[in-house]
Chain A
Amino acid sequence: MSFLGYPRPDGSAGIRNEVLVLPPGLVASEICHFVPGTRTLESADSGSGRTANDRETIARVLIGLGRNPNTAACIVHNGSPGADYPELKAEVLVQEIARSGKPVELLDIAKEGGTLDALKMGIKIARAMVVGASRQRRVPCDDGLLALGVKCGISDPTSGIAGNPVVGYVYDKLVAAGGTAMFGETTEIIGAEHIISKRAVSPEVAAQMLDCVAKIEELAKASGQDIRTVNPVPSNIAGGISSLEEKSLGAIHKAGSAPIQGVLQYGERPKGKGLYFVDNWMTMTSIFLGYAASGAQLVMFQLGGGGLPNWTLLEGVPTGVVPLLWVTANPVTYARSEDSIDFFSGTVIAGEETIEQAGERLYRHILDIASGTRTRPETVRFTSPAQMYLREPVF
């Protein structure tokens, strides 16, 4: 099957065609305010006072967004508080992003004579890049060029019995087509790791998965807290999920049944195609940015929602260039937020569709969105600021 996408020099294909300005902050924001067709990220994670590991994570995220197929061209400035660390130097980011073959320009604040003069130059470059990007046309692209990332959230029992299995069907179909599928949420593997790790392609990958889970559970125990007061979150419990194990056992259904090719760090690019486990944190302001940096052109939020009766308008997520798709199997959630939800799979619970039928419908819907149809969150400008998954102490 195919979608209409923007072919990129590295052989990938974008489903959107954005000019990206990085890193986040005043310079990027003001260029983007001035020039339609440009995007940036809202995040305070500059790298300042961060350890080398965390700075590498930030660099992976910025480089990954620049290389993401949805990015047509990119400007990198050196006016961020973290820009003097070796990992985060604008020259380094530019060099790495340029490996994708896309236009990328360095905006040197000092060379331009300060912030305001740099803004003037940045606006000039951005306007030219937007015109250049707009000359590109969508062409038919193989669905094997797609990469997806998923999270299940505000989970309730409809997630485990219908919503996640429908996503899992889509993941299996995408992997069979030669595409890339990512899932994660390490805390929500606890209680299901003995099942999911059996699907690793090798004992090494299985051991890596189990190690990620063991480390998170050790941190939970060292905190001295009953994990149930943290995760499952209150809305999970209000929706009918009784323990972290129950949540995890439902959550793994979104990963379908394909072999797991490897374990990725937050923002790391997969080395090949297929299904990957990402060692990440579940929160929506963090996880989707990581998938975008790993190369996903589209991300999905599989929503339970039963435990959040007052939530009706569903916002987007801070990824810079990657759209979000809201999916739910809960009929109450869907009735409440119909104008925010892109896809409803509660037909499976009502017995009107099988998981396969709903999965085929979702797959076609994804191809439609990949071809240019807007998701509901793409009609809402607001997103909360991004929280990169930085795991080490600050100094």
Chain B
Amino acid sequence: MAEKRALKMKPNDNTATVLEEVLPGEDVIARMGNEVFTVKAIEKVPFAFKIALTDIPKGGMIYKYGEVIGRASTDIKQGSMVHVHNLEGTRGRGDLAPKGA
């Protein structure tokens, strides 16, 4: 099975950005400097989208650039795509603000 390239930005990131389209079952090699992390994709991940490097439980924080980019809105399995269907942003949420605030 082909190996696909991905980029991990910082040590505490639990996602990596895939540098080419990834298909289910393919091994993804995420590089961070000279370090290499391998994860098997369990679904298709389009170019430049994110893949989960670890399992992330619902409510768990999701990291890229070493920073929080949102929290898991559902349990996320290692090797799956991370996007708006399973990640929710936590900032500027007028929909969550108390009414009349």
Contact = CB atoms under 8 A, between A and B. Distances in A.
Interface of A: 156-158, 160-161, 187, 190-192, 195, 217, 220-228, 237, 239-240, 242-246, 249-250, 306, 330, 332, 349
A245 B90 contact: yes
Given A161-B7, A222-B101, A243 B89 contact: yes
A239 B48 contact: yes
Contacts of A190: 91-92
A131 B93 CA distance: 56
Contacts of A158: 48
Given A158-B48, A195-B67, A249-B69, A224 B94 contact: yes
Q: Which 3 pairs show the lowest CB-CB distances between chains A and B?
A: A243-B89, A227-B92, A246-B69
Contacts of A225: 94-95
A243 B94 contact: no
B37 interface: no
Contact of A191 (B69, B84, B87, B101): B69
Contact of B88 (A161, A222, A243, A306): A243
A194 B77 CA distance: 30
B30 to A, nearest CB: 12
A223 B93 CA distance: 9
Given A243-B69, A245-B70, A224 B95 contact: yes
Contacts of B95: 224-226
19 contacts: A157-B48, A161-B17, A220-B94, A221-B94, A222-B94, A222-B101, A223-B94, A224-B99, A227-B89, A227-B91, A227-B92, A239-B48, A240-B48, A242-B69, A242-B70, A242-B83, A242-B87, A245-B69, A330-B48
Nearest to A332: B47
Contacts of A226: 93-96
B36 interface: no
